[in-house]
Amino acid sequence: MNVPESLKYTASHEWVRAEPDGTLSVGITDHAQDALGELVFVELPEVGRKLKADEACAVVESVKAASDVYAPLAGEVVDAHHALADSPGAVNKDPYGAWLFRLKPADPAALAKLLDAAAYKKTFK
pLDDT in tens, the chain (125 residues): 899 999 999 999 999 999 999 999 999 999 999 999 999 999 999 999 999 999 999 999 999 899 999 999 999 999 999 999 999 999 999 999 999 999 999 999 999 999 999 999 998 76
Our CA dihedral for 97, 103, 104, 109, rounded to 10 degrees, sits at -80
Q: How many separate domains does the chain show?
A: 1
- Cβ(81)–Cβ(101) below 8 Å: yes
Q: Can you name the residues that pair with 9 across neighbouring β-strands?
A: 15, 115
Nearest of 25, 57, 29, 26 to residue 43 by alpha carbon: 57
pTM: 0.96
CA 19 to chain centre: 14
Q: What is the CATH number of the domain that holds 99?
A: 2.40.50.100
The answer to whether position 116 is within a domain reads no
